[in-house]
Amino acid sequence: MKKFLLTLLIVGLGLHFSASAQSNILSGANISGNFQFDAQTYKQDTLIGADKVSQTVLSNTWFRLNYDLGGFYAAFRYEAYLDPILGYDPRLKGNGFAYRSMGYKNDFIDVVAGNFYGQFGSGLIFRSYEERLLGWDNPLDGAKVTLTPTAGIELTGLVGTMRTYWKQSNGLIRGGDMNVYTNDLFGFMPDDIVWNFGASFVSRYQKDNSSFLKLPENVFAWTGRTSLNYDIFSLNAEYAYKENDPNATNNYSYNPGTALYLTGAVYPKGLGVNFSYHYLDNMDMRTDRDAVGQKLQMNFIPPLSKLYTYRMLTMYPYATQFNGEAGLQLELTTSWLKKLFNDKKNADLMINYSLIKSIDTNHIDKYTYNTNFGTWGDDLFYQEFIVEFDKSWSRKFQTKMLYANQIYNKDVLESEGATKYGNMHIDIVVVEALIKVARRHTLRLDVQHLWSAQDSNFVHSDRRDGNWIFMLAEYSVSPHWFFSIMNEYNYNNPHEDYRLHYPSASFTYCKKATQISFSFGKQRGGLICVGGVCRPVPASNGMRLSVTTSF
């Protein structure tokens, strides 16, 4: 199959670029794609914890090609990890065509064979996607069919196995999804009311090879959802149920899984109030029951913590606990404050609060437990309160100020439940200024400070402990040049040897769809999180080159 698809693409491209490309068959063809190359050097630095690397340079490469001719489409992605940059799973080592797909689409049907991504609802029981920053790529290899029999109804069926590095998972996934858009279906709904609903199911088949336990070979999960939008109000609700699925991430529990996800919003002029709540019990779903870590995750639980790119706010990021958590998030945004300044320039205020705790469980034996759906437990996993104020003072000067208070359960989020560290109590202040120095010349200054304390007397050599200060200066000459220097300093770590500076500098050149970046310096070890999913990043000292382009 792989050789056939590759041969088909090469032949198609050869025809496209030959003299016969002027024929009617290829006159409407469109070719697009993108390329990314990342390379990094490593220097041993025992102070920051950067270990010796046997190879001087490590690199990751991606090249994707898309071909579209009328209703026919094809996509191929070549990847090379020679060897993978530290922080990416070493099992990625190798090169080859990791993604190849072809399909056909018209107003009634969309069929695809090969690799494909997809999501049912909010992803509670199925989501297949790529997140390159995390080294995450879990497409299915099989077939997917989507039908639109009439306006307002969409039906999808799929079957396939999931990618695991350069192989495929042992589990076989089958699934179906239905979406109903009542405004399009019925045609008589008021314009200010939008009501949709849907339902999905997935089934995983994997042979029982255990000699100790009787494991279900077929695991079935389903979900129902609805959404309503009316004027300045919206509400979304989704419920999921999973049959018992003993696996490595839930200690082979025979309990079923349940999940409830609610979101709502009210947004009158100048004000926005958003609310989110979810309850998760035994909802870690894998295409292989023995998989752990990031491997073969087949569902996605939207996180209830604020997502930020500020350096200090990523020091202790929250990762969703699929097998048991209850949480809520409230956010208020308003632009009314600009009236206090008696001018017409923006003055935006954002207040966000997140609370995530355990669920209430009572273990019966090693493999089963009791719980009351929707009930909260006593253990705090994460709490966050953020206030952010953005203000434009003139056409050439604007500021952003932020304060965050966090409580981070290090035992649950980093120690797999071991009682060692207790909770981290964190306060963060960010002040950012944007100054237009001249036409196309902009200076951005960023100062961040983090205070942290631990409510446990356990002594551990952690390079993140103590207080930090971060400073950044970035100068841009749009649209081509960007220069930055930064430093973060752990100035009062309880371990004196870890009171270190992490300086770095970078520059970027952009021309149309191409970007070339070069940076050098030290990087502290920690976690990178996107959408509530995290991967560890080791400390490093060296240079990094990144080239990206699209066409």
Over residues 205-226, the pLDDT tens digits come to 999 988 889 999 999 999 999 9
Residue 199 inside a domain? The answer is yes
Within-domain flag for 514: no
Q: What does the alpha-carbon distance between residue 248 and residue 257 come to, in Å, rounded to a whole number?
A: 15
Closest CA to 70 of 11, 125, 121, 26: 26
pLDDT at 270 over 70: yes
* Cα separation, 151 vs 358, whole angstroms: 43
pTM of the predicted model as reported, rounded to 2 decimal places:
0.88
pLDDT tens, position by position, 122-154: 999 999 999 888 888 999 999 999 999 999 999
Residue at 400 is within a domain: no
Does residue 158 belong to any structural domain of this protein? Answer: yes
Q: Where are the alpha helices (DSSP H) in 159-254?
A: 182-186
CB neighbours of residue 376 within 10 Å: 18
pLDDT tier at 13 (50, 70, 90 boundaries)?
very low
Angle (CA) 218-219-220 rounded to 5° is 115
Could you give the CA distance from residue 198 to residue 237 in angstroms, rounded to a whole number?
A: 11
Q: Which residues contact 337 (CB under 8 A, 6 or more apart)?
A: 347, 348, 349, 389
On whether the CB atoms of residues 61 and 79 are closer than 8 A, the answer is yes
**Domains of the chain: total:** 1
- State what percent of residues in the chain have pLDDT above 70: 93
Provide the pLDDT confidence category of residue 5 given band limits of 50, 70 and 90: very low
Residue 2, domain member (yes or no): no
Sign of CA dihedral 249, 317, 491, 454: negative
Q: Is the peptide bond before 139 cis (omega within 30 degrees of 0)?
A: no
* 475: nearest Cα among 523, 429, 438: 438
pLDDT digit string, tens, across residues 60-117: 999 999 999 989 999 999 999 999 999 898 999 999 999 999 999 999 999 999 999 9
Q: What 3-state class would DSSP assign to 317?
A: coil
Asked if residue 226 belongs to a domain, the reply is yes
Q: What is the pLDDT of residue 460?
A: 65
> Does 152 reside within a domain?
yes
Contacting residues for 232 by C-beta, under 8 A, at least 6 apart = 266, 267, 268
Q: Poorest-confidence range of 26-30, 254-258, 349-353? A: 26-30
Residue 392 amino acid letter:
S
Query: pLDDT tens digits for 111-124?
Result: 999 999 999 999 99
* Domain extent for 250: 119-302
pLDDT band (50, 70, 90) for residue 186? confident
If phi > 0 it is left, if psi is from -120 to 50 it is alpha, else beta; for residue 503 that is: beta
* Tokens representing residue 531 in the block: 């959408």
Task: Please indicate, yes or no, if residue 278 is contained in any of the structural domains.
Answer: yes
